[in-house]
Amino acid sequence: MPTVAPTAAFDYASEVYKAVDSKDEQQMARFLTENCTFVYANSEPVVGRANIAEASKNFMALIADIKHQLLDVWAVDDVIVSRLEVTYTRKDGSTLTVPAVTIWRVRNKQIDDYRIYIDVAPLFAH
């Protein structure tokens, strides 16, 4: 049985992506446990809220803007899976929209394991 109602999971995911889209790493970090593990695409895992916030800040400095369009959310036990489209705005003003999936393991209403499955190679091939 799901422990999070689908609408609650969708609302939670919407709040997380709103924080990410703000490009304020501290807004995003408040959704993470102190020892969260974060894996973005094929990057090495980053462990710890402060380290993840710093990695996010460094990535956001490479782009002009980011916008997440949430398409589907599924919640089972302590796992939330989201299907979305991410639109990146490069510093030159051009945009790239790519599909993505995130898988979060949630503990005490915070993300303890954060996995993003996305191909961002075209973002920097421009």
Residue for token digits 């209403």?
109
Report the range of poorest mean pLDDT among 6-10, 73-77, 84-88. Answer: 6-10
Mean pLDDT over all residues of the chain? 94
Q: How many CA atoms lie within 13 A of 18 on its CB side?
A: 6
CATH of domain 6-119: 3.10.450.50
The pair of structure tokens assigned to 122 is 């075209």
Amino acid letter, 124: F
Query: What band does 6 get if pLDDT is binned at 50, 70 and 90?
Result: low
Instruction: Give domain limits for the chain.
Output: 6-119
pLDDT tens digit sequence for 52-78: 999 999 999 999 999 999 999 999 999
DSSP string, 6-21: HHHHHHHHHHHHHHHH
pLDDT tens digit sequence for 90-111: 999 999 999 999 999 999 999 9
Task: Say what the pLDDT of residue 1 is.
Answer: 40
Query: What band does 5 get if pLDDT is binned at 50, 70 and 90?
Result: low
Give the span between the Cα atoms of 54 and 61, in whole angstroms: 11
